[in-house]
Amino acid sequence: MPNQPNVQRQTHNDDEVLYAVADGVATLTLNRPARLNTISRAMLQQLGELLLKADADPDVRVVILTATGRAFCAGLDMTEATQGSGIGSRNDADSARTTLDLKTAPPTILFNMEKPTICALNGSAAGYGMDIALGCDIRIMAASAKFAAAFVKRGVVPESGGTWFLPRMIGWAKAAELIFTGRTLSAPDSLAMGLANEVVADGDLMSRARAVAAEIAGNAPLAVQAAKRMMRSGLSESFGDHVHHVFLQLLPLFRTEDFREGMTSFLEKRPPHFKGR
């Protein structure tokens, strides 16, 4: 684990996204509980900036995304939009464009992040909130949490990755059923369908997410990040091309201190102490 204070770089409680780092784990917390953590323009910008910050921080090995209050994220802030001030409103300059630069949008950042990401779903994830959760590598759901794929019920599509993720995660037929009906899934339903890694009691959510994060953070970070990179590349590669690229990733790992530490600790029958170099 990195040598660092237990907690660092903590944000203020009035920020729309809270940020703290402890023991190699960055925790990003959506913080508009009175509005069910619906996405405002300010929240969108803060979330993108903090995801990039966590990905660039050498002391961060894992990222947890969660939220305050009773919802994870109820989607875009429709009140702002209907009042003409929010994302998707008539006054939104982006709404009239046919091409957009989405490199700094949170779903794109999540997909391209090197650090592994865990979504700790503390409550309902609807619309944009569902897509953001699907963009994380691992999803741990509180027993009371839900996925609400209500896009078509609002006259839109899963605009932030859902139409890409869902067919790959659960197959075409199940994805079509879920998207076309706009159905809401309970935590057990989400687990059975493969959208959640596990479901835990509401009060155990963050302790379980931190335990999984700690287990990941205890491994060689360069190897973990390379494995994620190769999984992402494999989504669009042939087997032959993919194996070739994996081998090219493996060669520099052989030259790292962490590789030597992994082999030495195995032979000495002791826990490894990885430094990320």
Name the pTM for this structure.
0.85
Say yes or no to pLDDT of 108 above 80. yes
| Domain extents in the chain | 17-217, 221-267
How many angstroms separate the CA atoms of 227 and 239, rounded? 15
Q: What is the mean pLDDT of the chain?
A: 87
Structure confidence at residue 99 (pLDDT): 58
For 217, phi and psi rounded to 5 degrees? -65, -20
- Residue 6: the pLDDT is 45
* CATH architecture label of 17-217: Alpha-Beta Complex (3.90)
pLDDT bracket for residue 105 (50, 70, 90): confident
Taking 70 as the threshold, does the pLDDT of residue 93 lie above it?
Answer: no
Q: What digits encode the pLDDT tens for the residues 138-187?
A: 999 999 999 998 777 676 767 778 889 999 999 999 999 998 998 899 99
Return the pLDDT at 118. 98
Of the given ranges (1-10, 22-31, 150-159, 184-193), which has the lowest mean pLDDT?
A: 1-10
pLDDT (mean) for 228-252: 90
